[in-house]
Structure 1
Amino acid sequence: MKAIILAAGIGSRLSRPFPKSLSVLPYGETILGRQIRIMRELGVREIIVVVGFKMTLIMEQFPEVYYKYNPDYYITNTSKSLLKAVESLDDDILWLNGDVVFEKNVLKNFLAQKEDSLVCVDRKSCGEEEVKYRLDADGYITEISKEVVEAEGEAVGINMIRRKDLPAFTEALRRCEDQDYFEKGLEFIIQEGAKIRPVDIIDHACIEVDFEEDWVSAQKTFLRADQ
């Protein structure tokens, strides 16, 4: 298994002069540093960070991981950043948005799942900006986007594509428009018959930091490294 962290974006909604993945939590660790540490503790050895905006700030802090550069980070979205990383790989792929702060047990439980491709979800009421999902009668994801009507909850930005689904997913990312999120690629392969199973993290803390209020919530929630 290989892991990818998407950290190329400007993060304009948070208005930071640096990549928001470098925002520092109350106990002194950055969001990205926390992600990398937790993955290492859980046995994930090969980590690729996709960079763009002020990439040297990230690369200087974390020289121990691999990097892919999205030179079009300012005009493309996560579908194209993810494509940069996966198009040369042949393995199970774990990938995270670089602005997700989560308890260690969220990822531990996620990695314990076998066989299916997976999306980490939180069953809750969602606003317009959250990526939402719906399930079919067998419990697999049928829709995943910001536009889902009568959503069952939020996709929180932690995902797994199995090796058997990777070629189709890579091609689906190529078909995405520049401004599409990677969830569009998931919808393409779902429509073509791929099975994507949700993993519910409702009992654990997980916050995707899009807006200032998300960051305030993350600072109040994650006060220690061992959470």
Structure 2
Amino acid sequence: MRAIILAAGLGLRLQQPPEEQFPKCLLSFDGVSLLERHLQLLDAAGIDDIVIAVGFKPERVRDELERLDCDPFPEMVLNLDYQLGSVLTVHTVAEALTRGGDVLLMDADVLYDARMIDALVAGTNVNRVLLDRGFEAGDEPVKLCLKDGVPVEFRKQLAVGLDYDTIGESVGFFRFREDTARRFAEIVAGYVDGGRSNMPHEEALRDLLLEGHHPFDIADVTGAPWIEIDFPNDVARAGNEVLPRLQRTVGVTR
């Protein structure tokens, strides 16, 4: 199983002065960067085939990996046009998506509990998406809507009158079987070839989920602590509310 970590973005919404900006995956909590936590949790799950999609200040990410003395050293793939949409970042790692085997696709800017990795990697021959039904309402969460267990929408904004029986927030972590990963890469390539490189990769994921040819298992992780870090108040919440609740994992939390 291979993990692809999307860590190319600039994180403008953190409102840092330009001279202080750095990749969000290097945000540190209790002395441990988000990237280090990703790597430690993946290692605990037995996954050491790791690809990191970088863009903004990639040398800072490499410095962190060298500091961690990673072995094997994660593969770094550079998206020079990282300021466009994240769909282009996914397209940049298309080879890693399609080289064979199951693939995990993970946002880098998430502080999360080890149980989420456990839910993601459990079992064999499965596509999986993580769902948190305890999300806060608003325009920011990417919402996954289900009808009889089948995805019917995957967007921040929902159409009026949408018919669903379950709704939750996507954690931003996905598992693809080999054939599904290839199909996702094809959808992403269609976005890029069609002049839609500025789109978020969630739109391509929506197409994959809703076309129905590759059924997805829905892993309900409601109650497990996690937070996606986009805004300054997210940093404060991550340190004050989420970090103290994380399940203890050797080498990760203190």
- TM, length-normalised to structure 2: 0.82
Q: Quick check: which one's helix share is greater?
A: 2
- The farther-off stretch of 38-47 and 185-194 is 185-194
Aligned residues: 224
Distance 1:204 1:185 in 2: 27
Q: Is the 8 A contact 1:126 1:154 kept in 2?
A: no
Q: Is the 8 A contact 2:91 2:188 kept in 1?
A: yes
Q: Is the 8 A contact 1:126 1:153 kept in 2?
A: no
3-state DSSP of counterpart to 1:215: helix
Which residue of 2 is the match for residue 162 of structure 1? 177
Read off the aligned partner of 1:13 and give its amino acid letter.
R
Which residue of 1 is the match for residue 228 of structure 2? 208
Which residue of 1 is the match for residue 69 of structure 2? none
Q: CA deviation at 1:91?
A: 2.0
Distance 1:112 1:167 in 2: 21
Which residue of 1 is the match for residue 37 of structure 2? 34
Q: Is the 8 A contact 1:133 1:148 kept in 2?
A: no
Q: CA deviation at 1:40?
A: 0.9
- Decide which structure has the larger Cα Rg and report it: 2
- The farther-off stretch of 162-171 and 2-11 is 162-171
Match for 2:202 among 183, 195, 208? 183
RMSD of aligned C-alpha atoms? 1.8
Q: CA deviation at 1:127?
A: 1.4
Q: Is the 8 A contact 1:142 1:187 kept in 2?
A: no
3-state DSSP of counterpart to 2:25: helix
Distance 1:58 1:49 in 2: 9
- TM, length-normalised to structure 1: 0.91
Q: Could you list the structure 1 runs, at least 4 aligned residues long, displaced by more than 3 angstroms after superposition.
A: 223-227
Q: Is the 8 A contact 1:2 1:45 kept in 2?
A: yes
Structure 1 runs not aligned, ≥5 long: none
Which residue of 1 is the match for residue 111 of structure 2? 101
Correspondence 1:130 to 2:141: yes
Distance 1:205 1:67 in 2: 28
Distance 2:144 2:119 in 1: 20
Structure 2 runs not aligned, ≥5 long: 67-72
Correspondence 1:222 to 2:243: yes
